[in-house]
Structure 1
Amino acid sequence: MVIEVYNLSKLRLKYGGCVFSSTEVAPSIQQVDQTFGATHPGIYDRERHLFLLNFRGLTFQFPVEPKFEPRFAGGLGSLQFPGGGSPLVSQMSIYSGSSRTATEAPPMPVSCFGGQVYTEKCDVIREDDVTKGVRLHLLAASDTHLGADSEPTHLVREVQFGDSCQDVATLLGAPTKVFYKSEDKMKIHSPFAHKRAASRRSDFFFNYFTLGIDILFDARTHRAKKILLHTNFPGHYNFNMYHRCNFDLSVDPHSSIINTTTDGVHIRADTKWESVCGTLKPSSRPVVLNRASTTNTSNPFGSTLCYGVEDFICEVRTRR
């Protein structure tokens, strides 16, 4: 995750009590060097005519005219400008780590958990080409007295198909919300849909927003029959409702759903469908999911495609 600031003139910024950018203080190279102290020699990008000054978690970009190009490996000291002036910061990047190219989003501080439990990763349990359930690696606050150096408690919980709603509540705690299905919109695809009588009972979901999962229970048996894992990608209909569930669905290389010689397939939250559809045997024609209803007749994010592969379904966001 990178935060980029393009116009420092609209901000008042200071570091260590020293202001380096405001309406009165121009963010020049000398001002940045004076505020942040010594660092490694800057890097000059000859293609973009930019001078990059890097600190841990922070990068400044300065525009440099070609006629003032520094001598190779000359660094900051080789920059010569007329009248003793110097360029101002054109862009500031803030990130976690020592390098922008290798940055990763920092873990959430335990003090921000707010009594909630979060998913670190999720392993999909499969045996003999059959999906059994999920193994959740959870993070929770360890105590009520949380400091800056507090470490989360690591928990492992397994939810399997056929578990009762009491079993799931015992393993994961009370759901954030319980949602009752008003109708089954997929029943038209069943060959016996015309023989199914209207039920007075409704299937229901346990929604766990911070875990990034939903669990569907049968209306009659009250046992789990479907588990939804959310990736929380921008542009999806449910974006920003769920935390991302970093799942890993591993398909054995000897599985019957693999149609090529391979070492197996891993489907993760950031996997592109094009990278796995040539290896797996999905349904030839996907189901188009529009997510339009009487209360929301226009979906600005467009439809998604649902591909069935044996006993699991992959929802794929179409490019627009």
Structure 2
Amino acid sequence: MYSALDIDLRPGHGFGIFEIGSSLWTLLDTLRRHPNAYPQIDIKYDPDASSITPVIVHIRPHLDLLFSGRHQRLSTICIRKLRDPNPSVTVQYKDTVLSSQTEVLRRVTVSKVFGPTYPIRGSDELRYPGIWFSFDEDGLETHPAGDRLQEVKRIIIFQIGPEGSNTEPSTARDALEEVSECLVMTGELAKAVVKVHEGVTLHFHPLATTAPLHIRLGETTAQDLTLDLGPPLRVHYKDDERMKIHSAVEKNDETGYFYNYFQHGIDFLISESTHTVRKVILHTNVPGSPLFQRYKRCAWEIEGRPEDDEDDTPPRKRFFDRFETISHFLNPRPPPSPRRMVLDRTDEEEHLNLPNSETQLHGFDGIILEVFNSSQVVSVTLF
């Protein structure tokens, strides 16, 4: 499963193929493509708030990967059960093997390799910028706390704060915080600002040096998308006509094709006659929902109208807001009995079994919200 070549420790940055700041979608997609190397994977989250809950990916028996709640970025890596032989794991830092089946990692070794560090009041851990060594795990300790032969039971890797501030307990980074912008995010979508009836503005990392990309309904062409975003991961021709029965105007069901950018969490429906963008679909990648892990999370924001011409901060509602909040934002005076459709995305997936496979479609002027349980919006369709 592991080898010393691909599990090097990089304090503040990662461990082997696991890089701090990587997206949940990217990492799970990588693991899915290597089932023999990573056969046992558990995903844990809070089902009552799965759109904003931190996600833990447990790769048995050695790794716990913590992803931030809002942007689903890898923030903390915990390496545990260093002596478990099923399978065995070798940990190295630069050219030094720290732990293996024949090498026990002890306090004295950590001190020799990493040098002195600040003591932490009330804690027996050895903490350095971007990495902690813990001697606490289930079971009895064979050496008292502080003993130079004390065995390391867990190694924790996390993002380094400003000027290495993680060495001080008073300024230690909260494991549940969002990950700061880092190199691994370069070229990835940071957020998508939606303007109803107009289009969407895409902001990419690094935010300070990358110009926003404007996608306009009825204007942006398929060629524009290819030039600006690269070729889509998939081109899918629209062949589902089931919604046609609800359409009063035949031209609204003009045939077209989809550009699927799974890595950005976005679909574009392209007109077959004009080859311009007709619809934009933004996916939230909510754990437990039918489309979880099919698309990367798109951090969308719906922008309202500014109060006046000098208003530089128009109101917005975001992907983590509850449906009731977004609904009132889009339509402050809803009808007494709002209309909605029920969609079961597993109707054509015979082998997919979910505790709750249904979502509800709520239509507004120029926009459709797809809502999962607990009032979580799993996708936004702009048309």
TM-score by length of structure 2 reads 0.57
Give the C-alpha shift of residue 59 in structure 1: 2.0
2:293 is aligned to 240
Map Cα deviations across residues 247-305 of structure 1 (whole Å, 9 max, x no partner).
322224769xxxxxxx9742334444465456553783543221134454644362233
Give the counterpart of 2:212 among 131, 156, 167. 156
Secondary structure at 1:235 match in 2: coil
Residue 179 of structure 1, CA deviation? 0.8
The answer to whether residue 258 in structure 2 is matched with residue 185 in structure 1 is no
Separation of aligned partners in 1, 2:225 and 2:236 = 15
Q: 1:56 to 1:240 in 2, by over 3 A?
A: same
Partner residue of 1:305? Answer: 360
Alpha-carbon spacing, 1:34–1:173, altered in 2? closer, same or farther (3 Å): closer
Tell whether the 8 Å contact from 1:204 to 1:219 is kept in structure 2 after alignment.
yes
2 CA distance for matches of 1:4 and 1:170? 40
For residue 131 of structure 1, what is the aligned residue in structure 2?
Answer: 197
| Structure 2 counterparts to residues 102-121 of structure 1, below 5 A | 102=177, 104=179, 107-109=182-184, 118-121=188-191
Q: Which amino acid aligns with 1:317?
A: F
Higher-Rg member (1/2):
1
Residue 94 (structure 1) aligned to one of 149, 157, 160 = 157
The offset of 1:162, in angstroms, is 0.7
Q: 1:221 Cα shift?
A: 4.2
Counterpart Cα distance in 2 of 1:108 and 1:315: 33
- Point out where structure 2 has 5 or more consecutive residues left out of the alignment: 1-74, 161-165, 167-171, 377-383
Q: In structure 2, what residue type is equivalent to 1:23?
A: Q
Partner Cα separation in structure 2 for residue 39 and residue 132 of structure 1: 55
> Could you tell me whether the CA contact under 8 Å between 1:122 and 1:247 is conserved in 2?
yes
1:32 aligns with 2:110: yes
Using the alignment, how far apart are the partners of 2:229 and 2:145 within structure 1?
Answer: 66
- Tell me how far apart the structure 2 counterparts of residues 25 and 297 of structure 1 sit (CA, whole Å): 45
The amino acid of 1:187's aligned partner reads K
Contact 1:157 1:172 in 2 (8 A): no
Q: Distance in 1 between matches of 2:327 and 2:78?
A: 36
Q: 2:281 aligns with which of 228, 234, 251?
A: 228
Report 1:1-320 matches (<5 A): 1-10=75-84, 11-44=89-122, 51-63=124-136, 81=144, 87-97=150-160, 98=166, 99-101=172-174, 102=177, 104=179, 107-109=182-184, 118-124=188-194, 126=195, 130-138=196-204, 154-163=210-219, 164-190=221-247, 192=248, 202-252=255-305, 265-273=315-323, 276-277=326-327, 279-281=329-331, 284-296=338-350, 298-300=352-354, 302-318=357-373
Following the alignment from structure 2 to structure 1, what is the Cα–Cα distance between the partners of residues 146 and 78?
Answer: 30
Match of 2:285, SS state, is: coil
Residue identity (%): 28
Shift of 1:31: 3.0
- After superposition, the Cα gap between the structure-2 partners of 1:288 and 1:4, relative to the gap in structure 1 and judged at 3 Å, is farther
Q: Distance in 2 between matches of 1:89 and 1:105?
A: 28
Match of 1:123, as an amino acid? V
Q: Distance in 2 between matches of 1:82 and 1:156?
A: 53
Q: Does the residue aligned with 1:31 lie in a helix, a strand or coil? A: helix
Distance in structure 1 (CA, Å) of the matches to 2:110 and 2:322: 41
| Residues in 2 aligned to 1:287 and 1:276: alpha-carbon distance in whole angstroms | 18
SS in 2 for 1:207: strand
Tell whether the 8 Å contact from 2:363 to 2:369 is kept in structure 1 after alignment: yes
Q: CA deviation at 1:213?
A: 1.5
What residue ranges of structure 1 are gaps of 5+ in the alignment?
Answer: 46-50, 69-79, 141-150, 256-262
> What is the alpha-carbon distance in structure 2 between the residues aligned to residue 33 and residue 17 of structure 1?
16
Q: CA deviation at 1:105?
A: 6.2
One-letter amino acid of the structure 1 residue matched with residue 316 of structure 2: H
CA distance in 2, matches of 1:25, 1:168: 53
For the 8 Å contact 1:291–1:299, the answer to whether it is kept is: no
TM-score, with normalisation over the residues of structure 1?
A: 0.67
Separation of aligned partners in 1, 2:134 and 2:154: 5
* Residue aligned with 2:111, SS: helix
Structure with bigger RCO (C-alpha 8 Å, 6+ apart): 2
Shift of 1:139: 5.7
Alpha-carbon RMSD across the aligned residues, in angstroms, is 4.0
Given that 1:288 and 1:303 are in contact with CA atoms closer than 8 Å, whether structure 2 keeps it comes out as yes
